[in-house]
Amino acid sequence: MTGKKIPFSPPDITDLEKKMVMDVLESGWITTGPKTSEFEKKMGEYLNVNNVVALSSATAGMELILKVFNISHGDEIITTPYTYTATSNIILHRGIKPKFVDVDKDSFLIDLEKLSEAITPKTKAVITVDFAGVPVDYDAVRKILKDKKREDIIFMSDSAHAFGAKYKGERVGSQADFHIFSFHAVKNLTTAEGGAITFNNNNFLGKEELKKELKITSLHGQSKDALSKMKAGAWKYDVITDGFKCNMTDINAAIGLAQLERYDDILEKRKLIFNIYNEALKNKEWATIPFDKNENNETSYHLYPLRINGFGESERDLVIQRLAEIGIATNVHFTPLPMFTLYKNIGYSINDYPNAYNQYKNEISLPLYSKLDLNDAKYIVEEVIKCVEKMI
């Protein structure tokens, strides 16, 4: 035993992040300004994507797209029930009841055949989810839309987990119409709170200058950002839409810039931990280890969602409890949305999504973060094995 408590996912903050934040604090400008623009530029270079809009959260990014394209009551949006509630809440906020499509059998990703069947004339958007950092088959989704003669449908990827993942050799960020990333405190790359929209086509669906429109709508619909307004004599501005307030600050962007500078090392460390778990578990008949990579795709190593074959919710929960008793924090990703009170109250039942339930009932997420000592990772997986094998 290590003799210490192992948390689930603390942020990886170094002196570089502290210095860059202090530089902003001492600059006299702390909200959206030059550092946010620099973060957007460097993110675009890293992801090889034309347009980046940095925001206060991934949730805000998804809702901002629905707002700008005026998707609301009477329209239909398809997504998966196997996700964090943010993916679905933004649909409810637009006055729409989400149309859930179950995940594929033995997968955490949306069932593409069922997705195709779910599209109707009312469908305005499809939101897929790159669970744990594993890319959805974007080209397959595009083919579905093409075959259905519905390329007017907006294809959004909730890529909150997938910063740094690869699809067919390219970093995730330009394959869907829009990718939305999260930089929350537990994500691979953090800005404390934050997110970004990435996309290639700045004139998508006939928009004249989409990036500018997204920026304006993220700042209460005002025609000038705060930095521009503060310049001497430049106080006048217009309000051109009923926008949100979800811009990223330069303080957050400074953290992100430091993280981006270190990101290759962060990703490599996560990969090492992932491989330690895989090596220990690969020959265990009771273990279904998560996807890491194949000839086409590679995860971002955001989560390690282990499945314990033959276990149900109660046995899985007991493993979590017993690990907690020796100081190892684990988690579950995710409780399918139809199991929550909010969704049950508006008519959803988990019985309609059997694959999602079967994935959830025996899933346990092991600690996976760049500050985790490799010896601690070995200890964690050894204790998981001991715990499970005492129960089977």
Quickly state the pLDDT bin for 1 (edges 50, 70, 90): very low
Burial of 264 (0-12, 13-18, 19+ CB in 10 A): exposed
Domain ranges of the chain: 15-256, 263-391
Residue 350 CB partners (closer than 8 Å, separation 6+): 336, 338, 339, 356, 357
Give the CA distances from residue 144 to residues 79, 118, 120, 158, 166, in Å, rounded to whole numbers and listed in that order: 15, 11, 13, 18, 21
Q: Which helix (H) or strand (E) holds 129?
A: strand 123-129
Tokens standing for residue 380:
């964690």
CA distance 336 to 82: 5
**pLDDT value for 3:** 65
Give me the DSSP letters along 269-316.
HHHHHHHHHHHHHTT-TTEEPPP-B-SSEE-----EEEEETT--HHHH
Indicate the residue type of 364.
Answer: I
Quickly state the pLDDT bin for 45 (edges 50, 70, 90): very high
CA distance 34 to 392: 57
Quickly state the pLDDT bin for 232 (edges 50, 70, 90): confident
- pLDDT reading at 252 higher than 80: yes
Residue 211 CB partners (closer than 8 Å, separation 6+): 51, 53, 202
User: In the block, which residue shows the tokens 């394959």?
Assistant: 175
Quickly count: other Cβ atoms within 10 Å of residue 55's Cβ.
29
**pLDDT value for 230:** 78
User: In terms of pLDDT, which residue wins out, 227 or 202?
Assistant: 202
Could you please state the CATH topology (level 3) that the domain comprising 15-256 is classified under.
Answer: Aspartate Aminotransferase; domain 2 (3.40.640)
From the list 32, 37, 52, 67, the residue with the least C-alpha distance to 244 is: 67
Annotated catalytic residue within 187, 215, 269, 271 = 187
Burial of 284 (0-12, 13-18, 19+ CB in 10 A): middle
CA distance 77 to 66: 10
Residue 15 CB partners (closer than 8 Å, separation 6+): none
Tens digits of residue pLDDT in 368-385? 999 999 999 999 999 999
Tens digits of residue pLDDT in 337-367? 999 999 999 999 999 999 999 999 999 999 9
Helix (H, G, I), strand (E, B) or coil at 26: coil
Indicate the residue type of 108.
Answer: F
Question: What is the average pLDDT value for the chain, to the nearest integer?
Answer: 97
Fold agreement (15-256, 263-391): no
Tens digits of residue pLDDT in 97-106? 999 999 999 9
Tokens standing for residue 316:
């899985």
Residue 236 CB partners (closer than 8 Å, separation 6+): none
Could you tell me where the beta strands, DSSP code E, fall in 152-299? Answer: 154-158, 166-167, 170-171, 178-182, 195-199, 287-288, 297-298
- pLDDT reading at 41 higher than 70: yes
Could you please state the CATH topology (level 3) that the domain comprising 263-391 is classified under.
Answer: Aspartate Aminotransferase, domain 1 (3.90.1150)
CA distance 30 to 223: 20
Residue 367 CB partners (closer than 8 Å, separation 6+): 6, 7, 8, 9, 304, 328, 329, 330, 377, 380
Strand 166-167, strand 170-171: pairing: antiparallel
114 is catalytic: no
Tens digits of residue pLDDT in 171-188? 999 999 999 999 999 999
DSSP state of 132: G
With b for 16 or more beta-carbon neighbours within 10 A and e for fewer, the 308-328 pattern comes to: beebeeeebeebbebbeeeeb
